[in-house]
Amino acid sequence: MKGIQIGIIGAGRIGRLHAENLTYRVKGAEVAAVADVFPDAAARCADEIGIPQATADPMEVIKNPAIDAVFICSSTDTHAPLIEQAAQAGKHIFCEKPIALDIPAIDHALETVEKAGVILQVGFQRRFDLNFRRARASIGEGKIGKPHILRITSRDPEPPPIEYVKVSGGIFLDMMIHDFDMARYLMGDEIEEVYATGAVLVDPKIGEAGDVDTAAVTLRFKSGAIGVIDNSRKAVYGYDQRVEVFGEKGMIVVSNPKPDTTVLSDTAGDHSSPLYHFFLDRYADSYIAEEEEFIAAVTQKKVPLVTGFDGKAAVVIGYAAKKSLAEGRPVKLSEIDPAF
Amino acid sequence: MKGIQIGIIGAGRIGRLHAENLTYRVKGAEVAAVADVFPDAAARCADEIGIPQATADPMEVIKNPAIDAVFICSSTDTHAPLIEQAAQAGKHIFCEKPIALDIPAIDHALETVEKAGVILQVGFQRRFDLNFRRARASIGEGKIGKPHILRITSRDPEPPPIEYVKVSGGIFLDMMIHDFDMARYLMGDEIEEVYATGAVLVDPKIGEAGDVDTAAVTLRFKSGAIGVIDNSRKAVYGYDQRVEVFGEKGMIVVSNPKPDTTVLSDTAGDHSSPLYHFFLDRYADSYIAEEEEFIAAVTQKKVPLVTGFDGKAAVVIGYAAKKSLAEGRPVKLSEIDPAF
Amino acid sequence: MKGIQIGIIGAGRIGRLHAENLTYRVKGAEVAAVADVFPDAAARCADEIGIPQATADPMEVIKNPAIDAVFICSSTDTHAPLIEQAAQAGKHIFCEKPIALDIPAIDHALETVEKAGVILQVGFQRRFDLNFRRARASIGEGKIGKPHILRITSRDPEPPPIEYVKVSGGIFLDMMIHDFDMARYLMGDEIEEVYATGAVLVDPKIGEAGDVDTAAVTLRFKSGAIGVIDNSRKAVYGYDQRVEVFGEKGMIVVSNPKPDTTVLSDTAGDHSSPLYHFFLDRYADSYIAEEEEFIAAVTQKKVPLVTGFDGKAAVVIGYAAKKSLAEGRPVKLSEIDPAF
Amino acid sequence: MKGIQIGIIGAGRIGRLHAENLTYRVKGAEVAAVADVFPDAAARCADEIGIPQATADPMEVIKNPAIDAVFICSSTDTHAPLIEQAAQAGKHIFCEKPIALDIPAIDHALETVEKAGVILQVGFQRRFDLNFRRARASIGEGKIGKPHILRITSRDPEPPPIEYVKVSGGIFLDMMIHDFDMARYLMGDEIEEVYATGAVLVDPKIGEAGDVDTAAVTLRFKSGAIGVIDNSRKAVYGYDQRVEVFGEKGMIVVSNPKPDTTVLSDTAGDHSSPLYHFFLDRYADSYIAEEEEFIAAVTQKKVPLVTGFDGKAAVVIGYAAKKSLAEGRPVKLSEIDPAF
Of C144, C261, C264, the CB nearest to A143: C264
Q: How far apart are CA A42 and CA A58, in angstroms?
A: 11
The answer to whether the beta carbons of residues A176 and A232 sit under 8 Å apart is: no
Domains (range + CATH), chain D: 4-118 (3.40.50.720), 127-278+313-335 (3.30.360.10)
Q: What percent of chain D has pLDDT over 70?
A: 100
- CA–CA min distance C276, chain B (Å): 10
Confidence band, pLDDT 50/70/90 cuts, at residue B271: very high
For helices B103-116 and B308-327, angle between their N-to-C axes, nearest 10 degrees: 170
- CA–CA min distance B280, chain C (Å): 19
Question: What count of Cα atoms within 13 Å lies in the side-chain half-sphere of residue B231?
Answer: 26
- Respond yes or no on whether the N-terminal peptide bond of residue C98 is cis (omega within 30° of 0): yes
Of A198, A226, A235, the CB nearest to B199: A226
* Residue ranges in B227-307 assigned as alpha helix (H): 279-282, 284-300
Which pairing describes strands B29-35 and A226-232: parallel, antiparallel, or unpaired? unpaired
Q: Which contiguous run of DSSP H or E holds residue A90?
A: none
The answer to whether the beta carbons of residues D161 and D211 sit under 8 Å apart is: no
- CA–CA min distance B79, chain A (Å): 34
Of D237, D238, D266, the CB nearest to A237: D266
Q: How many helices (H) and strands (E) does chain B have?
A: 13, 15
Name residue B328's amino acid.
G
Residue D64 is predicted with a pLDDT of 97
Q: How far is CA B106 from the centre of its chain?
A: 16
- CA–CA min distance A94, chain B (Å): 35
Question: What count of Cα atoms within 13 Å lies in the side-chain half-sphere of residue B56?
Answer: 4
Residue D266 is predicted with a pLDDT of 98
The answer to whether the beta carbons of residues A254 and D257 sit under 8 Å apart is: no
**Environment class of residue C239 by beta-carbon count within 10 Å: exposed (0-12), middle (13-18) or buried (19+)?**
buried
Q: What percent of chain C has pLDDT over 70?
A: 100
Confidence band, pLDDT 50/70/90 cuts, at residue D123: very high
* DSSP state for residue A25 in the 8-state scheme: I
Task: Note whether B237 contacts C273, CB cutoff 8 Å.
Answer: no
- What does the buried/exposed string (b/e) look like for B261-273 if buried means 16 or more CB atoms within 10 Å of the residue's CB? bbbbbbeebbbbb
- CA–CA min distance D76, chain B (Å): 31
Chain B residues lying within 8 Å of D144, measured CB to CB: 264, 266
Chain D residues lying within 8 Å of A274, measured CB to CB: 265, 267-270
Strand partners, D153: D230, D242
The full DSSP string for D148-203 is: EEEEEEEE-SSPPPHHHHHHS--HHHHTHHHHHHHHHHHHTS-EEEEEEEEE--S-
Confidence band, pLDDT 50/70/90 cuts, at residue C311: very high
Phi, psi (degrees; rounded to nearest 5) at B126 = -65, -30
Integer angstrom CA distances of residue B7 from A311, B46, D121: 65, 11, 41
For testing contact with chain B, the best of A144, A192, A246 (most B CBs within 10 A): A246
Tell me the residues of D at the A interface, defined by beta carbons under 8 Å apart.
Answer: 236-238, 265-275
Chain B residues lying within 8 Å of C270, measured CB to CB: 237, 271-274
* Chain A nearest-CA residue for B193: A197
Who's near B172: CB < 8 A, 6+ residues apart? B196, B215, B217, B317, B318, B319, B321, B322, B325
For testing contact with chain D, the best of A261, A266, A270 (most D CBs within 10 A): A270
SS3 at position C128: helix
Average pLDDT over residues C223-244: 98
Integer angstrom CA distances of residue A236 from B187, D219, D227, D271: 19, 48, 44, 14
Above 70 in pLDDT, residue D1? Answer: no
Integer angstrom CA distances of residue A124 from A107, A153, A280, C261, D65: 18, 16, 13, 20, 81
* DSSP state for residue A86 in the 8-state scheme: H
Sheet holding A69-72, edge to edge: A53-55, A29-35, A4-9, A69-72, A92-95, A120-122
Contacts of D185-188 with C-beta under 8 Å, sequence gap 24+, read D185/D124, D185/D127, D185/D132, D185/D136, D185/D310, D186/D132, D186/D135, D186/D136, D186/D139, D186/D147, D186/D150, D186/D243, D186/D245, D187/D139, D187/D147, D187/D150, D187/D221, D187/D223, D187/D225, D187/D227, D187/D245, D188/D136, D188/D139, D188/D140
Mean pLDDT of chain C: 97
Residue C2 is predicted with a pLDDT of 73
List the chains bordering chain D where 3 or more Cβ pairs fall under 8 Å: A, B, C
Q: Which contiguous run of DSSP H or E holds residue D254?
A: strand D250-254
Chain B residues lying within 8 Å of D284, measured CB to CB: none
Task: Give the dihedral of Cα atoms C228, C233, C238, C239; nearest 10 deg.
Answer: 60
Q: ipTM score here?
A: 0.96
Task: Note whether C250 contacts A266, CB cutoff 8 Å.
Answer: yes
- What does the buried/exposed string (b/e) look like for D105-140 if buried means 16 or more CB atoms within 10 Å of the residue's CB? bbbbbbebbeebebbbbbbbbbbbbbbbbbbbebbe
Of B130, B263, B267, the CB nearest to D260: B130
Task: Note whether A228 contacts B226, CB cutoff 8 Å.
Answer: no
Q: How many helices (H) and strands (E) does chain D have?
A: 13, 15
- The pLDDT tens digits of the residues spanning D61-115 come to 999 999 999 999 999 999 999 999 999 999 999 999 999 999 999 999 999 999 9
Of A267, A268, A271, the CB nearest to D269: A271
Q: How far apart are CA A119 and CA A293, in angstroms?
A: 12
Q: How far apart are CA A150 and CA A147, in angstroms?
A: 8
- CA–CA min distance D332, chain A (Å): 36
**Environment class of residue A45 by beta-carbon count within 10 Å: exposed (0-12), middle (13-18) or buried (19+)?**
buried
Of C135, C144, C264, the CB nearest to A252: C264
List the chains bordering chain A where 3 or more Cβ pairs fall under 8 Å: B, C, D
Name residue C154's amino acid.
S
Q: How far apart are CA C173 and CA C176, in angstroms?
A: 6
* Residue ranges in D188-278 assigned as alpha helix (H): 204-208
Average pLDDT over residues C70-84: 97
* Chain C nearest-CA residue for D198: C226
**pLDDT beneath 50: ranges in chain A:** none
| Other beta carbons less than 10 A from residue A148's beta carbon | 26
* DSSP state for residue C28 in the 8-state scheme: T
Q: How far apart are the first and last CA of chain D?
A: 44
Residue C13 is predicted with a pLDDT of 95
Residue D2 is predicted with a pLDDT of 72
Q: How far apart are CA C317 and CA C222, in angstroms?
A: 14
Q: How far apart are CA C244 and CA C247, in angstroms?
A: 10
Above 70 in pLDDT, residue C204? Answer: yes
The answer to whether the beta carbons of residues D47 and D23 sit under 8 Å apart is: no
* Chain C nearest-CA residue for B265: C237
Phi-psi region of D157 (alpha: psi -120 to 50; beta: other; left: phi over 0): alpha
Q: How far apart are CA C289 and CA C134, in angstroms?
A: 14
Helix, strand, coil percentages in chain D from 3-state DSSP, rounded to 5 = 40, 25, 35
CA angle D26, D27, D31 (to 5 degrees): 70
Tell me the residues of A at the D interface, defined by beta carbons under 8 Å apart.
Answer: 236-238, 265-275
Q: How far apart are the first and last CA of chain C?
A: 44
Above 80 in pLDDT, residue D34? Answer: yes
SS3 at position C8: strand
Q: What percent of chain C has pLDDT over 90?
A: 99
Q: How far apart are CA D89 and CA A109, in angstroms?
A: 97
Q: How far apart are CA C51 and CA A338, in angstroms?
A: 58
- CA–CA min distance C202, chain B (Å): 16
Mean pLDDT of chain B: 97
Average pLDDT over residues D124-153: 98
Chain C residues lying within 8 Å of D214, measured CB to CB: 148-149, 226
Q: How far apart are CA A93 and CA A84, in angstroms?
A: 10
Q: How far apart are CA C31 and CA C42, in angstroms?
A: 13
Given CA atoms C297, C301, C303, C307 in this order, what sign does their dihedral have?
positive
